[in-house]
Amino acid sequence: MSESKSSAPGISILLSCAVLAGIMGWTGRGMAERSECSQPAAAQETQVRKEPLTAGGTGMGTFYSLKVNGEYPGGQEALARDAEETIRRIEKEISTFDKTSELSKFNNYQGTGRFEVSRDTAVMVAETMRLGKSIGGATDITIFPLVDLWGFGPSKKPEGFVPDDESIQKAKSLLGLDRLHVIMDAGKYYLQKDFPELHVDLSTVGEGYGADRFAELMDRKGVQNYLVQIAGASRSRGISPSGRPWRIAINGPRRDEETVMETIVPEEMAVSTAGSYRNYFEKDGKRFSHAIDPVTGRPIEHRTVSVTVIAPTALETDALDTGLLVLGADRALEYAEKAGLPIYCIVKDESGQFVSRYSSAFEKYLAK
């Protein structure tokens, strides 16, 4: 599993002056804490009690971070232990780095009969397929053969390798959401594929799924104020150490500098971003992004460079942001308006400037 959408743009968490150090980066996505120092000093003294408890590390091919504003049962040590156990359980379910994971075993299975998996894996696959189909298959968890063909998977390719049409068509023949099935029977859960070569890669939604699991951990422990994140996906609840709801900055798509395009208040909703501008190669002056359209079998060529989605769960945002990026801003916004979905697109205009476009449902989340 190319566990991380490592090309996704940065999303910065806006915190108080008391916590300007300690949070981990977002796998090259410009994750950085910023100051909320606009409050009067007296207000800060009453609202900011202390620095939050934090835990972070690596997993699923990227970085994760948890931040608790208040107490956590068992303290810092328990928070770090519980976070680590959670991420390792997820890897045992859906990692393709770990050859003993459920998903790896399914991918290596050379039959077409039912293959038993955990309820969590089955639900994750089913929901991602449902959302992918809702946007015309633009999010396709069977797209691995194309990703690998273009040099963004584990297979070694010469630098600047561009596959020919025949190879692209052959890889496309191994795709298909309609050729993957999720079955529940007598209280057990199964995946089934129509042909042995079908390969499922959940890296598109792994970060969002992980963020949801972290949020479930916080809720189960009775934590009222937290921010959890895995790379480009986050969940939050309650207030930050500043005494205000958590704020998130959507960073501009530049490698050489960190700029903020917009600041949002997610209001306990999930947020994730997919981008096309960090993971790419160039050949003969043309850029080839890792964001591949399953319909054409080729990297996207439009000017949309990132899409941020807000929804109740991070699995949902993560299942949609990549597909909406593939569709491009025009089609993505058309879908969002019909669905009442809050999305925010960054587009490179003809003059080379980055401009933002967002759906009407997104406006309520803009920081005032």
pLDDT band for 278, please (50, 70, 90 cuts). Answer: low
Report pLDDT digits (tens) over 45-85.
334 446 889 999 999 889 999 999 999 999 999 999 999 99
pTM of the model: 0.85
d(CA 3, CA 95): 7
Report pLDDT digits (tens) over 327-341.
999 999 999 999 999
Burial track 273-298 (b if 16+ CB lie within 10 A, e otherwise): bbbbbbbebeeeeeebbbbbbbeebb
CA dihedral 124, 269, 330, 261 (to 10 degrees): -130
**Would you state the pLDDT for residue 38?**
30
CA count, 13 A, side-chain hemisphere, 181: 12
Please answer whether residues 271 and 7 qualify as being in contact, where contact means their C-beta atoms are separated by less than 8 angstroms.
Answer: no
Residue with tokens 């596959």: 163
